Amino acid sequence: MTLLKVGIIGCGGIANGKHLPALAQVKEVELVAFCDLISERAEEAKIHYGTLTAKTFTNYQKMLEEMELDVVHICTPNSTHAELSIAAMEADCHVMCEKPMAKTSAEARSMIEAAEKTGKKLTIGYQNRFRKDSTYLHEICDEGELGEIYFAKAHAIRRRAVPTWGVFLDEEAQGGGPLIDIGTHALDLTLWLMDNYKPKYVVGKAYHKLAETENAANAWGAWDPEKFTVEDSAFGFIMMENGATIFLEASWALNSLDVKEAKTTLHGTKGGADMNDGLTINGEDHSTLFEKKIELEPGGVDFYDGAGDKPEVLEVQSWIDAIINDTEPVVKPEQALVVTEILEAIYKASETNQPVFFN
C-alpha cells in the first residue's frame, strides 16, 4: 500500500477541526510534519495525530527543506495561502489549501502557474461538495433533470454567529469577512452544480452595519467593534456569459430568521431544487406539478465506501486517491480561481458603486 507523507502548515482551528481528524481516517497517509508559529500548537497536533517520528516546526521553509514530504495542507490565514502553497509545490509537494484559494485573484493565478510549472497537484478545501445532498444533486444536474439552470441563489446567512477568535475580523489578514469566509462555500457549490464558470459582470454591496454594535448578542461572545475591520454582510448579483444569473448572500450577523449556510437554490427549465430544509426537487410531470423530498440514507458515498459519511473525510480521501492514481482532484484550482475572482469583484463593486466586468 502506498503511504504518502503529509505535512501541515498551520495547526489552529481549521486544522484541528477538519484537516487533521480527516487525514487521520485515511489509511494511505501518515502525518509526519507539523508547522505553526506557536510551537505549542504544533506539538499538540503532533501528539494527537503524528507518527512516532513526526517533527514540529515554527518555520515552514525549514520544514520543507528538512522533510521529504509528498503532500502539504495549508491551514493558515488567507493572506498567506499563495506564498505557502507555491513554496510547498516548489518543494515537490502536492498541495491542498484551505478555502478560499487566496486573498486576491492575482495570488490565486500565481498558485495555478506554480502548479503548472512544477507539475504538482493543487486543490482547495471546499468540502461541501462532498455532502450527500450535494453529490446527489450534482448527479441530477449532470443528467439534465433540471434542464438549463438559468437562475440560482447561493446562501450563506447566519443570524448572529460572528467568529471572534483568530484573525477572522482582520481585513489585512483575511481580505474580507463573511463573503470570503462562508460566501465562498455557497458560491463554489452553486457554480459547481450549474457547471458554469464564465462570469460576465458583477454588481454588489458589502455592509459594515451590525459590526459597530457594542456588547452585541453573538453565538461566540460579543465582538470588539474596533477590531471588526471586515464587512458583516455582503450581497452580489452575478451575470454569466450565457445569460444565467446568480444571487449571492453572505452574512455573519443579519437580523433575519431565514438562516442557511453553504446552501443553494437552483431554477432550471425542466425543474428546480433547493437545500433549505433537506433536499427538495420540484418540477412538472404529465402536466402535473410535483415536489419530491429526497431522503438520503446514512453512510458514505458509494465510490468511497468505508471512508465514513463526513464531507471532510470524503474530501481528503478523494484528494489522496487523485494523487495515488494520478487523476484530477474533484475541486480543480481553475474552478476555485473563478470563485475568488467573483468575490473580489463583489468587493470592488461595493467600493466603486459600479458594475465590475470580466475580460
Q: What is the pLDDT of residue 206?
A: 98
Q: Are residues 146 and 111 in the same domain?
A: no
Which one of 125, 140, 159 terminates a domain? 125
Q: Are residues 31 and 155 in the same domain?
A: no
Q: Are residues 142 and 209 in the same domain?
A: yes
Q: What is the pLDDT of residue 48?
A: 97
CA 9, CA 97: separation in Å to the nearest integer?
10
Domain count, the chain: 2
286 belongs to a structural domain: yes
Q: What is the pLDDT of residue 296?
A: 85
Q: What is the pLDDT of residue 304?
A: 44
Which one of 70, 94, 125 terminates a domain? 125
Q: What residues are paired with 124 via a beta bridge?
A: 97
Which one of 103, 125, 147 terminates a domain? 125
- CA 50 to chain centroid: 25
Give the residues of the chain that fall short of pLDDT 50.
299-307
Q: What residues are paired with 145 via a beta bridge?
A: none
331 belongs to a structural domain: no
Q: Are residues 201 and 102 in the same domain?
A: no
Q: Are residues 111 and 240 in the same domain?
A: no
CB of 67 within 8 A of CB of 42?
Answer: no
Q: What is the pLDDT of residue 2?
A: 75
CA 281, CA 291: separation in Å to the nearest integer?
6
Q: Which domain holds residue 41?
A: 4-125
Q: What is the pLDDT of residue 307?
A: 47
237 belongs to a structural domain: yes
259 belongs to a structural domain: yes
CA 94, CA 115: separation in Å to the nearest integer?
9
Q: Are residues 220 and 345 in the same domain?
A: yes
312 belongs to a structural domain: no
Q: What is the pLDDT of residue 300?
A: 42
Q: What is the pLDDT of residue 49?
A: 98
Q: What residues are paired with 235 via a beta bridge?
A: 205, 249
Q: Are residues 161 and 294 in the same domain?
A: yes
325 belongs to a structural domain: no
332 belongs to a structural domain: no
* CATH at residue 120: 3.40.50.720
* pTM score, whole prediction: 0.95
324 belongs to a structural domain: no
Q: What is the pLDDT of residue 301?
A: 42
Q: Are residues 72 and 173 in the same domain?
A: no
Q: Are residues 110 and 247 in the same domain?
A: no
* CATH at residue 175: 3.30.360.10
Cell of 43: 506539538
Q: What is the pLDDT of residue 87?
A: 98
Helix H, strand E, coil C: the string for the chain is CCCEEEEEECCCHHHHHHHHHHHCCCCCEEEEEEECCCHHHHHHHHHHHCCCCCEEECCHHHHHHHCCCCEEEECCCHHHHHHHHHHHHHCCCEEEEECCCCCCHHHHHHHHHHHHHHCCCEEEECHHHHCHHHHHHHHHHHCCCCCCEEEEEEEEECCECCCCCCCCCCHHHHCCCHHHHHHHHHHHHHHHHHCCCCEEEEEEEEECCHHHCCCCCCCCCCCCCCCCCCCCEEEEEEEECCCCEEEEEEECECCCCCCEEEEEEEEECCEEEECECEEEEEEEECCEEEEEEECCCCCCCHHHCCCCCCHHHHHHHHHHHHHHHCCCCCCCHHHHHHHHHHHHHHHHHHHHCCCEECC
Q: What is the pLDDT of residue 308?
A: 56
Q: Are residues 173 and 204 in the same domain?
A: yes
Q: Are residues 96 and 30 in the same domain?
A: yes
Task: Provide the CB-side half-sphere exposure for 316 (13 A, CA).
Answer: 27
pLDDT digit string (tens) for 37-66? 999 999 999 999 999 999 999 999 999 999
Q: Are residues 234 and 274 in the same domain?
A: yes
